[in-house]
Amino acid sequence: AGYAALLFRKGAAVTRLYSIAVDPEERGKGVADALLAAAGRRAAERGAGRLRLEVRPSNRAAQRLYERAGFAVIDRKAGYYGDGEDAIRMERRLSPARPGGRGAHP
């Protein structure tokens, strides 16, 4: 129904949500919310304290989704996308993962 791709850097406090997508037929069913929650848990399990992403200013639906999930705007990157559109950078603080929690890895 969808996917979320994360970029991790060993020892980094920030994990980047590189891409997220939901099948158009599945939109409005909570899939994106579930993917964002799972991405946050996975990033916390890997030791990240924050989850960061970029989104197009023209993509208001995605911005609203991220805001509902606790993301806040931290800056804007001029000409970020290949077509010259800027990017809005958003970030969310993560709760620390519980040791031995579901999906935790040594």
What's the pLDDT tens digit per position in 54-81? 999 999 999 999 999 999 999 999 999 9
CATH label of the domain that carries residue 51: 3.40.630.30
- Tell whether 104 is covered by a domain: no
- Tell whether 102 is covered by a domain: no
Domain count, the chain: 1
Mention every residue, 6+ apart, whose C-beta is less than 8 A from residue 1.
22, 23, 26, 29, 31
What pTM does this model have?
Answer: 0.86
What residues act catalytically? 54, 66
What's the pLDDT tens digit per position in 41-55? 999 999 999 999 999
- Tell whether 103 is covered by a domain: no
- Tell whether 98 is covered by a domain: no
Give the residue numbers spanning the domain of 16.
2-93
- Tell whether 56 is covered by a domain: yes
